[in-house]
Amino acid sequence: MKNLNIGLVGYGFMGRTHANAFRSVSNFFDLPYRPILNTVCARNADRANAFAAQWGFNKAETDWRRLIENPEIDLIDIASPNDTHAEIAIAAAQAGKMVMCEKPLGRNATESEAMVKAVEAAGVPNMVWYNYRRVPAVTLAKHLIDEGRLGRIFHYRAKFLQDWTISTDLPQGGEGLWRLDVNVAGSGVTGDLLAHTIDTAMWLNGGIQEVSAVTETFIKSRKHTLTGQVEPVGIDDASLFLARFNNGSLATFEATRYARGHKALYTFEINGENASIFWDLHDLHRLQYFDHRDEGQVRGWRSLHITDRDHPYMSHWWVPGLQIGYEHTFIHQVADFLEGVGSGKASSPSFRDGLATDHVTDAVLESASSRKWITVKQ
C-alpha cells in the first residue's frame, strides 16, 4: 500500500466530508493507496490552521497555488465554492496532479468543458463528487437496472426538496451562504440540488434528450452579506422540468428550497415494464423494489433494508441491521477512486460525466428563460 498525499482546497461543509473520507477510508477498505492528509488550503489562515489541527493535516496554506507547486502532493481535492473550481482544477491537471472536484463541475458547461479538456490532456485521474451514486441502496438500484430486471423503462421521476431559504431574513453571499450568490454559485438549485438528481438519473437511465423547464425566484431581493446592501437575488429558488430520455421514457424533475417540511428529501423512482424502484435520501439505507413477476397474491413493494453483507459496500461496515449514514458515501467514493487509480481503470463520475450533467442544467436554464423545449447537447 502506497501513500497518496492529499491537498485539500476548502474547509466548509464539503471540506469536512472530504477530509473525513480520506482520513477514514483505510480503516474500512483494503486499497492500493493510503491517503495522507498532507495540506489543507483556505483563504483565512486561522481557519485553515484550525481545520488542519482538527483533522490532522500536516500543514495549512492560504494559497491553493502552493499545493499545486508542492511535488509531495499527488491529488488536489477541490471543495471550495463553485467559482473557484475551473481555475484550480485546470492548474492542478496541468501540474500533473490527480483532481477530485466537488459538484457541480463548473458554474456552466463552458467552464466544465475547459476542465474536461485539461484533465484529459494531462491524462490524470479525475472525479466529480456526485456522492449519491455511492449510497449502497442507489448502487444496488444501478446493479438491478444493469441486470435488466426492469425491462423497458416508461417513467423516471426525481425531486430534491429543501426548505432552508424560505425566510426573507436570510442574507445572500458570504460565509456558508455563497450558494445564494449567483456570481459564486453560477445558479441556484439548478446547479446544486437538481444537478444531483440529473447525475443519478443519467447513470441509471441513460442520456436525456430534451427538456421543458420552469424556474422561479420566490424572494426577489435579499441583503448581501458582503456589500451590506439589499440586492436582487440572481439564483433560482426552484427549478422544475419535464424530460424525455434517449430511451423514450418520460420524466419529471424538481428541485426547490421552498418545500416546507423537507430538509434534504432527494427521491427518485423508475418504472419499468417488469419492475420499479424507489429511493429516498431521508431513509437512505432502504430501497423500495417492486417486481411484477412475483406471485400475484404476495406481490408488493419490498422494503429492502440495505445493511446485509451482500449489499454494495456493506461488508466493509458493521453487522446486518445496522445502518450507515450520509458521510459514508464519500468514503465509498474515495475507495472506488483509489481502486481505480490502482487498477488503471477510471471510476465514474469522471469530469466528462460531470460535463454531461452541466449540459442538462444549461438546457434547463435556457428552457426556463426561452419557455421552449431545448434539446440537450450530448
Q: Looking only at residues 141 through 160 of this chain, which bind a copy of itself when binding is defined by CB under 8 A?
A: 143-144, 154-155, 157, 159
Q: Are 165 and 280 in contact (CB under 8 A)?
A: no
Select from 218, 223, 234, 246 the one that contacts a copy of itself (CB under 8 A). 218
49 contributes a contact to a copy of itself by CB under 8 A:
no
339 contributes a contact to a copy of itself by CB under 8 A:
no
Select from 18, 134, 262, 332 the one that contacts a copy of itself (CB under 8 A). 262
The count of C-alpha atoms lying within 13 angstroms of the C-alpha of 85, restricted to the half-sphere facing its C-beta, is: 32
Q: Looking only at residues 84 through 123 of this chain, which bind a copy of itself when binding is defined by CB under 8 A?
A: none
318 contributes a contact to a copy of itself by CB under 8 A:
yes
265 contributes a contact to a copy of itself by CB under 8 A:
yes
Select from 108, 162, 200, 267 the one that contacts a copy of itself (CB under 8 A). 162
280 contributes a contact to a copy of itself by CB under 8 A:
no
C-alpha cell at 85: 473550481
**Residue number, 299 or 377, with CB nearest to a copy of itself:** 299
Q: What is the spatial distance between Cα 24 and Cα 334, in angstroms, rounded to a whole number?
A: 10
C-beta of 112: minimal distance to a copy of itself in Å?
25
The binding track of 346-375 with respect to a copy of itself, each residue x by CB under 8 A or -, is -------------------------xxx--
Distances (CA, A) of 9 to 16, 120, 130, 158, 349: 11, 21, 17, 31, 20
Q: What is the DSSP letter of 102?
A: P
Q: Are 76 and 61 in contact (CB under 8 A)?
A: no
Cα-trace Rg, the chain: 21
C-beta of 165: minimal distance to a copy of itself in Å?
11
User: Strand pairing partners for 218?
Assistant: none
**Residue number, 303 or 343, with CB nearest to a copy of itself:** 303
Select from 2, 121, 320, 346 the one that contacts a copy of itself (CB under 8 A). 320
Applying CB under 8 A, which part among 71-79, 198-206, 281-289, 347-355 lies near a copy of itself?
281-289
Q: Are 194 and 255 in contact (CB under 8 A)?
A: yes
Q: Judge if the upstream peptide bond of residue 349 is cis by omega within 30 degrees of 0.
A: yes
Q: List the end-to-end C-alpha distance of the chain, in Å, as a whole number.
A: 39
Residue with cell 440540488: 193
Q: Are 125 and 267 in contact (CB under 8 A)?
A: no
C-beta of 135: minimal distance to a copy of itself in Å?
11
302 contributes a contact to a copy of itself by CB under 8 A:
yes
